[in-house]
Amino acid sequence: MGRPSPPAAKGGPEIPTTTLRVPRPELLRRGTLLLRLSRTFHALTGAFALALLALFLGIVATLTKASWSSILLNGPGFLGRDTWDPVHGVYGALPFIAGTLVTSAIGLVLAVPLALGVAVFLSELAPTRVRFALTTTVDLLAAIPSVVYGFWALAVLVPLMAGSVEPGIQHLTGAVGPFSGHAGGLDVFTAGVVLAIMILPTISAVSREALSAVGRQQREAAMSLGATRWEATRLAVLGPAMSGIVGAILLGLGRALGETIAVTLVVGNNNQVPSSLFSPGQTISSWIANDLNSAVAQGPAIYGALIELGLVLLLLTVAVNVVARLLIWRIRRGEAGGSPLRRRRPHRGLAAGSTGVGTAVVPGAHPEWRRAALARLPQRVRRRHGTFLLVGGLCLLATVLAVVPLASILYTAVGYGGPAVVRPTFYTETQPAACNPGPVTPNCPIGGVGPQIEGTIILLGLAALIAVPVGILIGIYLAEYGRHRLGPGVSFVTDVMTGIPSILLGTFVLVVFLEYVPSVANSGIAGGVALSILMLPLIVRTTEEALKTVPVAVRESALALGFPRHRVTLRVAIGTARNAIVTGVLLAAARAGGETAALLLTTGGFQYWPLGLTHPIGALPLVIFESGLSGYANWETDAWGATLLLLGIMLIISLSTRLLLRRAPSNE
C-alpha cells in the first residue's frame, strides 16, 4: 500500500483528470535508492555464489593439506602397496582401492542392464496409464537412506547370498578363479549387489530424462516409417540420448565409488586385496567410516594416511562426476548432437553418381525389389512384432526386479520394526541397558529412541538454518544474474558437489574442526555443518531450476511496471516458483535426515538426551548403524523401529512432493 489512491469520485460528474504526480526530485531519490538496493542484492547473491566455489576448492585443499605429511612420508608407493599396517608404519592404499573398484564394477555390471531396461520401459514402452505409478515406485528407491539399505542387506540379503546365491554360483562355475573361496555372504560380491540396488534408481532416472529429452516428433517420424515402438526407440531415441545415458551410468559409478554405510555393513571389513568375488574386503569409504574416529587418537601418521585415502576417493569421484555432468549437460541444454555419426561404410557408389546425372548408378530395377519387399512384409512384421514383445517383456522384467528390493525392505521393516513404533514410549524414552542376546522379555525392555529423534530434529534445524537461505541466494544468483560470467561455472560445481561422497564431506568438516575448534569436533554444531554442506548443492540446484521455469514474459512485465530487478526476483519469480523451491528444500532435508556417514564422523554418537549444540549428539540413522549390529535383541528392535520411522518419513516426503509437483502444471 505504498502509493496514494486517487481521490474517490463518488457518482459525481467530476472525474479527476490528473490523478497522481510524484514530484520529480522525490522520484529520483527513490529511484536511486532502489537502484542501490538492487545492486547490493546482486552483489550479495554473487558473493555467496563465489563462496560456494570457495567451499568446493576448500574441500580439495583441506584434504590435500591434511594428508600432505602422509603424501611426503608414503610417497607414490602408497597407491600400489597392498599392506595397511600401522604397527610397523606401513601404509598402502591398494586393498581399499581394489575393494572400491571391484564392488563398484560389480554394482555397475548388475545395475546398468537393469536400469536401462527400466528407463526404456518407463519412458518408451509402458502403457501410459501405468507409467506414472511405476515411475514413482522406482524413484522411491532413491529416497531410501543408505543405512536402511545396509541394515536390510545384513538381515535379508546376506543370508540369501550365503545360503543359496553364492553356493549356487560356485556350483555352476566350479568355484574356480574369481568364484573360489568360502562364500560367507559378507563379501565384495554382496556389497556389489547392494550397490547395484542403490545406484539403479539414479541410472534409470537420469537415463529416462535423457530419453524423454528426445522430441516426440522423432519417435513419430520413425513410427511413420513403419517402425514398431521398440524400433522407433532404437532408431530415433537411443542415438540422440546416448551421451546422456553414458552420463547417467557414470553418475551411478560416482555414487557407487563413494557409497559408505551400506557397503561398510556387508563388505566384510577385511583390509586385504580381495582374492575372489566371495572374499571379504574393504572399500576406501568403509575404511574411513570404520577407522577415522579412532585414528584421530592414534596419531598423525595413521590419520594422515586415512585422509590421503579420502583424497584419492575425492579425486576419483570428482573426475567421474565431471565427465558425467558434461555429458548430461549437453542433453539438458538441447545440444543433443548425440553419439558420433553412425557410419556403416563410405558410399562411394553414390558419390560417383553425383558427377553425372543419369541412370548409370542405379543397379537393378528398384520397383521390383520394393514390390518383393512389400510382399514379404506381413511375415516380417510378425517377426518384428515378436521382437518388440520380447524386448518389452525383458524391460518389464527389469522393472519388476528393480521394485523387488523396495517391497522386501518395506516388508522387513514393518515386520521387525512395527512392534516397536506402535509403542508411545518408543518416541519418548532412551535406549535401555543392553540385554544379553536373546528374545525380548519383560525384564529386557525395548525402550525408545527419543533422544535420537530430538537429535535428528536439532541437526536438521541447524543444517536448514545455514543451507536454506544460502542455497536459495546462490540459486537466485545462478538463475537471475549468472547467465554470463560466473554462473555456468558455479552451476557446474554445484552439480559436481552433489556427487561428492557424504563420508568425505564428514571428513572435511572433521578435519576443519579439529584444526580450528577441536573442542567441538564431535558435536551438534559439526554434525549440522556437515549436513548443511550436504543439503546446499541440492537446494541451489532446485532453486535455480525452479526460477528458470518462470516465464521471461512474467519477469519482463513486472520490469515494465517499474519494479526494480531484485523485487522482480523476490516477489514475482520466487512467488511463482515457491512450490518447487519448497519441494527442493524438503527433498534435501530428507536426504540429510537419512544421512549416516557424515554424522558418524562428526556428531560423536550419543545415546542420551542432547545436552546442547557443543556436545555430542545422537541421530536416528546412527541408532540403526550402531544398534543394528549389536546383537542385543532389544537394541536391534530399536534399530528396526528407527528404520521403519525413517523409511516412513522419507517415503511420505518423496511421495507427497512428487504428487505436489505433478499437480502443479495443471494449475497453471
Interface residues with other proteins (CB under 8 A)? 128, 215, 217-218, 220-229, 231, 235-236, 239-240, 242, 336-347, 349-355, 357, 361-364, 366, 369-370, 373-374, 376-378, 380-381, 384-385
Q: Which is nearer to other proteins, 228 or 321 (CB)?
A: 228
Q: Taking each helix axis as running N to C, give the angle between helix 188-212 and helix 128-143, from 0 to 180 degrees, rounded to the nearest 10.
A: 140
Q: What DSSP line would sit under 509-529, residue for residue?
A: HHHHHHHH-GGGSSSHHHHHH
Q: Which is nearer to other proteins, 218 or 408 (CB)?
A: 218
Q: Which is nearer to other proteins, 361 or 659 (CB)?
A: 361
Q: Residues near 271 by Cβ (< 8 Å), separated by ≥ 6?
A: 84, 95, 96, 282, 287
Query: Shortest distance, CB of residue 667 to other proteins, whole angstroms?
Result: 17
Query: Shortest distance, CB of residue 219 to other proteins, whole angstroms?
Result: 8
Query: Shortest distance, CB of residue 424 to other proteins, whole angstroms?
Result: 47
Q: Which is nearer to other proteins, 362 or 652 (CB)?
A: 362
Judged on CB neighbours under 10 Å (0-12, 13-18, 19+), 340 is exposed
Judged on CB neighbours under 10 Å (0-12, 13-18, 19+), 443 is exposed
Read off the amino acid at residue 36.
R
Query: Shortest distance, CB of residue 121 to other proteins, whole angstroms?
Result: 16
Query: Shortest distance, CB of residue 5 to other proteins, whole angstroms?
Result: 41
Distance in angstroms (rounded) separating the CA atoms of residues 274 and 280: 7
Helix, coil or strand: residue 259: coil
300: left (phi over 0), alpha (psi -120 to 50) or beta: alpha
Q: Which is nearer to other proteins, 6 or 226 (CB)?
A: 226
Query: Shortest distance, CB of residue 659 to other proteins, whole angstroms?
Result: 19
The total of other beta-carbon atoms located within 10 Å of residue 555's CB is: 19
* H or E segment and range at residue 188: helix 188-212
Alpha helices in 76-175 (DSSP H): 94-120, 128-143, 146-152, 158-160, 166-173
Query: Shortest distance, CB of residue 94 to other proteins, whole angstroms?
Result: 41
Per the CB < 8 A criterion, the answer to whether 151 and 629 are in contact is: no
DSSP 228: -
Q: Which is nearer to other proteins, 223 or 434 (CB)?
A: 223
Residue 428 to residues 69, 424, 645: CA-CA distances in angstroms?
A: 47, 7, 14
Query: Shortest distance, CB of residue 396 to other proteins, whole angstroms?
Result: 19
Q: Which is nearer to other proteins, 125 or 500 (CB)?
A: 125
Distance in angstroms (rounded) separating the CA atoms of residues 89 and 86: 5
Strands 84-85 and 90-91: antiparallel
Query: Shortest distance, CB of residue 390 to other proteins, whole angstroms?
Result: 16
Query: Shortest distance, CB of residue 340 to other proteins, whole angstroms?
Result: 8
Q: Which is nearer to other proteins, 329 or 427 (CB)?
A: 329
Q: Which is nearer to other proteins, 371 or 571 (CB)?
A: 371
Q: Which is nearer to other proteins, 224 or 441 (CB)?
A: 224
Q: ∠188-191-195 over CA atoms, to 5°?
A: 135
